Structure 1
Amino acid sequence: MENIALTEAVYYILLSLDQPLHGYGIMQNIERISGGRVRLAAGTLYGALNSLLERQWIRALPEEKGGRRKEYQITESGRAAVRREIERLRELLANGECITVLWN
């Protein structure tokens, strides 16, 4: 299992895909859950989606006949990556509290 820090874009994409969404829906959901702070450009989103597909952290759902929008959903491997990232962020916060005490 990889123990790497996720980019903010990847983290929010994975969080957004608990339910199947198409690209525009992902962008809207990220903006919503980040309180408007994170807005992904289409190129950033689709580059990250391709990378996440290669890592098998997400999967593309079969397109319905006549459907033009591809939908994506997180996989168990993707959920594990999010859990590792949350734990990493918790450690950073805990270390930050220690650093604040030492440096103040």
Structure 2
Amino acid sequence: MKSFEPLTDSVFYIMASLTEPRHGYAVMTFVEETTKGMFVIGPASLYTIIKKLLKEQLIVLHDESDSRRKVYTLTKIGRQTLEADIVRRKVMIEMAEKGLKRGNL
């Protein structure tokens, strides 16, 4: 397994959306609705990232009966990568929260 690289916010949100099988438009909608519009991913960014994630084998095409839409889901390596990035982000949040409480930031 290659070394872990931190995920960008866009990649993080897309991978988090693909913990369940979803097609592209559903990913964009899920991210926008879940973040209450604070984060929006456009189609060009989405499909560029999906292509990269497929190449890196972090996601795969999921078999679905509706062949008009390509449905994607995380691979085992994709799940491990997302889990590692969640840990990294939690450390960042804890550090910032502690700093704010102390007034040192």
Aligning the two structures, in what range does the TM-score lie when normalised by the shorter sequence? 0.7 to 0.9
| Cα pair distance change 1:2/1:32, threshold 3 Å | farther
3-state SS, counterpart of residue 69 of structure 1: coil
Partner Cα distance (1:22, 1:47) in 2: 14
The alignment yields a C-alpha RMSD, in angstroms, of 1.9
Question: Structure 1 residue runs of 4+, over 3 Å off?
Answer: 97-100
Partner Cα distance (2:39, 2:90) in 1: 21
Residue of structure 1 equivalent to 2:42? 41
The one-letter code matched in structure 1 to 2:55 is E
| Cα pair distance change 1:2/1:25, threshold 3 Å | same
The one-letter code matched in structure 2 to 1:91 is V
| Alignment coverage as a number of residue pairs | 103
The normalised TM-score by structure 2 is 0.85
What residue ranges of structure 1 are gaps of 5+ in the alignment?
none
The one-letter code matched in structure 2 to 1:76 is K
2:80 is aligned with 1:70: no
Residues 61-100 of structure 1 correspond to what in structure 2 (within 5 A)?
Answer: 61-62=62-63, 64=65, 67-100=67-100
| Cα pair distance change 1:90/1:63, threshold 3 Å | closer
The normalised TM-score by structure 1 is 0.86
3-state SS, counterpart of residue 31 of structure 1: helix
The one-letter code matched in structure 2 to 1:25 is A
Partner Cα distance (2:37, 2:3) in 1: 30
